[in-house]
C-alpha cells in the first residue's frame, strides 16, 4: 500500500474530525483475506525544517518513529516554504460552501509549507514495484489527481510485467455519500468510511510538551480478520 500522508491527513480531518490513523492497520484492512502475510505499507510525507520549525518536526518524527517500529516504510522529503498572506491563527476562516455568508478576516504574512516531490516518488515507487514483480496488487491511498495517471502508465508498460497485477485506490468518504466514490483508471476504489477509520484511528497526542511523554503502544494487528470487500475476491 502506498499512502500520500498529507492528503490522507487532511481528508480524514475534514470528514471525521480526526486526522491520523495507523497506516499498517489500514493496509491490513484493505488487503483483507487476500493476503496470507502482512501487506507491505509505505507512507510518504513532507517533513518540516527542524531548524525553523523544531516543534513541528519533533511531532512528526515521533509519529514516524512509531510507524517504522510497526513495519511501515517511511519516505520523506523536506517541505518547501514561501511567504504568503493568510488568516490569523486565532481566527481561521471556515470551509466555504455555496451559501456561505461574507466574512471579514485579518490577514497576516506567514510561511506556507508545500510538499515537493512526494507525488512523484510515490508514483515512481508504484511503477517500480509492480514492474519489478515486488507486488501483485498496489493500493494507492490519495485523492491527488496527478496520481490518477499511474494505472494508465502501468497499462502502457504491461508487456514488461511477467504476470497479472491490479492497481487499486482507497479514499476517505463522507457518511452522507449515497454512491461509492470511484477514481478513474483504477481496478477498484476502496471506501474509507467513518467505521473503517475508527478501526485504524491513531488518537495519540504527538504535540505534547510534557517531559513525561512516552511513545504510544501501537497495536501490531487488527483485532480480527476482515471479510473480503464487495467486488473483490481473494
Q: What mean pLDDT do residues 73-85 have? A: 92
Q: What is the pLDDT of residue 133?
A: 93
- Percentage of the residues of the chain whose pLDDT score is greater than 70: 94
Predicted confidence (pLDDT) at residue 145 exceeds the cutoff of 60: yes
Q: What is the pLDDT of residue 224?
A: 62
Q: What mean pLDDT do residues 129-138 have? A: 95
- Percentage of the residues of the chain whose pLDDT score is greater than 90: 72
* Cβ contacts of 151 within 8 Å, gap of 6 or more: 167, 185, 186, 187
Count the neighbouring beta carbons within 10 Å of the beta carbon of residue 1: 25
Dist. CA 221–CA 230, nearest whole Å: 22
Lowest mean pLDDT among 41-55, 93-107, 186-200: 93-107
User: pTM for this one?
Assistant: 0.89
Q: How many residues does the chain have?
A: 234
Predicted confidence (pLDDT) at residue 84 exceeds the cutoff of 80: yes
Q: What is the pLDDT of residue 89?
A: 64
Count Cα atoms within 13 angstroms, Cβ side, for 11: 21
Q: What is the pLDDT of residue 90?
A: 66
Lowest mean pLDDT among 57-61, 91-95, 152-156, 202-206: 91-95
User: 171 or 113: whose pLDDT is higher?
Assistant: 171
The band of 104, judged by pLDDT with boundaries at 50, 70 and 90, is confident
222: its cell numbers: 487488527
Predicted confidence (pLDDT) at residue 234 exceeds the cutoff of 70: no
Lowest mean pLDDT among 40-49, 114-123, 133-142, 223-232: 223-232
Instruction: Indicate the helix (H) or strand (E) that contains 196.
Output: helix 194-200
Dist. CA 43–CA 38, nearest whole Å: 15
Torsions phi, psi of 119, nearest 5? -65, -35
88: its cell numbers: 490569523
User: 101 or 151: whose pLDDT is higher?
Assistant: 151
Q: What is the pLDDT of residue 107?
A: 87
Count the neighbouring beta carbons within 10 Å of the beta carbon of residue 59: 17
CATH architecture group of domain 2-87+107-200: 3-Layer(aba) Sandwich (3.40)
Q: What mean pLDDT do residues 16-27 have? A: 96
Q: Which long-range contacts (CB under 8 A, 24 or more apart) does 86-89 make?
A: 86/110, 86/112
Look-up: residue for cell 501490531? Answer: 220
Amino acid at each position: 500500500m502506498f499512502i500520500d500522508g498529507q492528503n490522507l491527513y487532511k481528508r480524514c480531518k475534514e470528514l471525521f474530525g480526526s486526522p491520523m490513523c495507523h497506516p499498517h492497520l489500514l493496509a491490513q484492512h484493505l488487503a483483507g483475506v487476500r493476503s496470507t502475510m502482512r501487506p507491505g505499507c509505505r507512507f510518504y510525507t513532507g517533513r518540516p525544517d527542524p531548524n525553523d520549525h523544531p516543534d513541528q518536526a519533533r511531532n512528526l518524527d515521533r509519529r514516524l518513529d512509531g510507524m517504522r517500529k510497526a513495519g511501515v516504510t517511511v519516505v520523506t522529503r523536506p517541505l518547501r516554504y514561501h511567504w504568503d498572506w493568510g488568516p490569523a491563527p486565532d481566527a481561521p476562516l471556515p470551509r466555504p460552501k455555496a451559501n456561505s455568508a461574507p466574512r471579514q478576516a485579518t490577514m497576516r504574512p506567514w510561511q506556507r509549507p508545500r510538499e515537493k516531490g512526494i507525488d512523484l516518488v510515490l508514483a515512481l515507487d508504484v511503477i517500480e514495484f509492480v514492474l519489478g514483480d515486488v507486488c501483485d496488487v498496489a493500493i494507492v491511498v490519495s485523492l491527488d489527481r496527478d496520481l490518477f495517471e499511474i494505472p494508465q502508465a502501468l497499462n502502457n508498460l504491461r508487456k514488461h510485467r511477467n504476470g497479472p497485477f491490479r492497481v487499486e485506490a482507497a479514499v476517505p468518504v463522507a457518511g452522507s455519500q449515497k454512491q461509492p466514490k470511484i477514481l478513474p483508471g483504477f481496478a477498484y476504489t476502496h471506501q474509507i468510511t467513518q467505521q473503517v477509520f475508527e478501526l485504524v484511528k491513531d488518537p495519540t497526542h504527538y504535540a505534547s510538551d510534557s517531559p513525561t511523554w512516552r511513545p504510544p503502544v501501537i497495536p501490531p494487528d487488527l483485532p480480527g480478520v476482515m471479510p473480503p470487500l464487495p467486488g473483490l475476491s481473494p
